[in-house]
């Protein structure tokens, strides 16, 4: 009888834990289920003790073991409840912090630079995972024609931002529109470095999601906070 009671208790605990991880309302339900489970276990334990064979009483070590198991299950559920609350607080804090970026420009992964009707080009950037002995940046139009190329030496690892004047090699102003950035970098041994291109996004707002707050960059879509390389 005691073993069966423990089995039912464990099954109920698993069901309670699963429902608790689903949502905030599920967490509240899990807390209630955990309390019900503890009460049910104690009822079964008392019934077992009352109906045990006086000539063959239940071993104290078995009782202690079963109590320890139910306490472990209860403790895990309480820990999950606490972690759930902490996670919610962290998400709220991140969302408040992210809201301070509204109206700002940020560098995010991408390979575009945009030229406006006034000839002004948006900033762009490069993230180098290692020091680069040589680096070149080539900007091409939609047809693949090179409109700008610049060479650099001894570039330090990390994020660097750049500003293009929106003019081609002859000094003429290019047409408004989107242009593509191509980056080539080599280390001191001549081996290629995989550089990450960065383009500018304008933060219109903050959107809440299951994976945390995201920045709304309008036409640039939604990006995670950890994809913001630099605030301009």
The answer to whether the predicted template modeling score (pTM) of the entire model surpasses 0.85 is no
Mark whether 179 and 77 lie in a shared domain: no
Q: Are strands 214-216 and 205-207 parallel, antiparallel or unpaired?
A: antiparallel
Rg value, the chain, Cα: 31
| The total number of structural domains that make up the chain | 2
Last residue within a domain, chosen from 99, 120, 138: 99
Residues 92, 109, single domain; the answer is no
Question: Residues 183, 119: one domain?
Answer: yes
Q: What is the pLDDT of residue 70?
A: 65
Clarify whether residues 74 and 113 are in a common domain.
no
Is residue 109 domain-shared with residue 81, that is, in the same domain?
Answer: no
* Shared-domain flag, residues 116 and 198: yes
Residues 90 and 111 reside in one and the same domain = no
Q: Where a domain ends, among 67, 99, 131?
A: 99
By residue range, what is the domain housing residue 17?
2-99
Sheet holding 132-140, edge to edge: 112-115, 177-186, 132-140, 146-155
CATH code: domain of residue 142:
2.60.40.4070
Specify the higher pLDDT residue, 61 or 217: 217
Tokens of 102: 């509204």
Residues 156, 226 within the same domain: yes
Residues 197-223 pLDDT 10s:
999 999 999 888 777 788 999 888 999
Same domain, 139 and 206: yes
Contact 194, 130 (CB under 8 A): no
- Predicted local distance difference test score (pLDDT) of residue 97: 72
């Amino acid at each position: 009888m005691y073993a069966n009671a423990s089995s039912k208790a464990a099954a109920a605990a698993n069901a309670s834990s699963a429902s608790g991880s689903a949502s905030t309302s599920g967490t509240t339900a899990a807390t209630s289920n955990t309390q019900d489970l503890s009460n049910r276990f104690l009822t079964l334990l008392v019934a077992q003790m009352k109906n045990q064979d006086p000539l063959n009483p239940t071993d104290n070590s078995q009782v202690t073991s079963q109590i320890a198991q139910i306490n472990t299950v209860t403790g895990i559920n309480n820990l999950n409840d606490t972690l759930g609350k902490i996670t919610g607080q962290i998400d709220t804090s991140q969302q408040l912090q992210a809201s301070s970026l509204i109206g700002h420009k940020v560098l995010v992964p991408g390979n575009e630079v945009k030229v406006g009707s006034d000839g002004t080009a948006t900033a762009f950037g490069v993230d180098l995972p290692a020091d680069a002995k040589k680096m070149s940046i080539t900007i091409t139009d939609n047809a693949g024609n090179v409109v700008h190329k610049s060479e650099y030496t001894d570039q330090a690892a990390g994020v660097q931002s750049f500003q293009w004047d929106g003019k081609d090699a002859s000094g003429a102003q290019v047409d408004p529109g989107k242009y593509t950035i191509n980056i080539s970098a080599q280390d001191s041994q001549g081996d290629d470095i995989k550089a990450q291109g960065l383009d500018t996004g304008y933060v219109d707002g903050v959107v809440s999601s299951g994976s945390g707050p995201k920045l709304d960059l309008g036409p640039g879509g939604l990006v995670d906070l950890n994809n913001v390389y630099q605030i301009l």
